[in-house]
Structure 1
Amino acid sequence: DTTLEHSTGLRLLHGEADWTPGLVIDAYGERGVAAFDGEGADAFWRPRLPAIIKAFADGGYHLSSVINKDGTETLWGTPPAKEASQFEENGVLYEVDVWHGHKTGFFLDQRPNRQLLCKPCGLQILPKLVNA
């Protein structure tokens, strides 16, 4: 996928689409954000997170921490500073508030639409619109 060439914000797992029903993990640089769809998914996936994160590392994608989508708990790794995370997408630097943001913090699945918008309007205006 050419839209991922210059991107450090990624959806690593997307629930049923990746054979992990009830679990979504997004990465913003080295910080991961996990969302469990209910208590059953939480009970099933939480003890498996270390193995999942190790599999990412074995595949070349390293996370330093994973927090829950509410930002109230560090699920794995070193508790990160409670500050905005930065990530790059198609040459544009974004900041996302993973502590108070919507769901896992950002609509990473909308990457192609943001790329389409950047062409006619220029790269400088889009981050201001997204973070407004």
Structure 2
Amino acid sequence: MRYTLLLHYPEMTAEDLGPEALAEGMRAFDVYAKALDAAGVLRSAEVLQPSTATTTLTLAGGELVVQDGPFADLKERLGGTFVIEVPDLDVALEWARQAPSAHYGHVEIRPSATRFTDGAWTGEPQL
């Protein structure tokens, strides 16, 4: 089963963190990504740019609305994702527990419903 681990945590600048904390955070995520990869479960990983780089679009009211910044004003932001493929939720929870950001934020574990690979969709649509 494929799961996406969505990492939510307080957004801080490199200056806010300081060089030592920034280096330690980068080291911790490098170790985590390499452990997932060595276990053969990592499918992809993304570190997102700060939410200030976000553009949000909607057509929900029938008209195109584009705004700078994220849709919701929250204390925690989506900072990155890891897509893993593991046998079940228990294994996904164990990997999510090991995410460095679990110590200062939240990790959302969401199973994939469908995915697009090699020119085709697989799985059951969940709209």
What's the TM-score, normalizing by structure 2?
0.29
User: Could you say which structure has the larger radius of gyration?
Assistant: 2
What's the TM-score, normalizing by structure 1?
0.28
Greater fraction helix: 1
